[in-house]
Structure 1
């Protein structure tokens, strides 16, 4: 749990929105964590549902076709 006004920072792997779960799984042979990675929109939606705002997903480099390493930032609103 993050206190109100707190910030979240994560480095993770994300998929482009057009990749289906099956397409992500097929790319899993390149990088083990790719098969279970979220699409950018899914990641954003989950953070929004959890109550985060000011969400930024910044791809840093391509891991494999359609999959990127990314920096994720978000804030928990102050009460």
Structure 2
């Protein structure tokens, strides 16, 4: 399993416009759910995305980051005022 710094660094490398680790992006492990939680924040908008370990592994291995990418796209739309 990867650690939170590795995962956070990967997210900011893939999506550099969302911000920096520890400022706009943070990652934590939810022991109860046994999942990673990606905390995204931009301006007044906040979003927490639960990322299964298998999805995190795929993302870290450059295979796919689909679910996380969709959440980041939603956050961008919220910031731009284009909510569904």
TM-score scaled by length of structure 2: 0.27
Q: Which has the higher strand share?
A: 1
User: Which is greater in Rg?
Assistant: 1
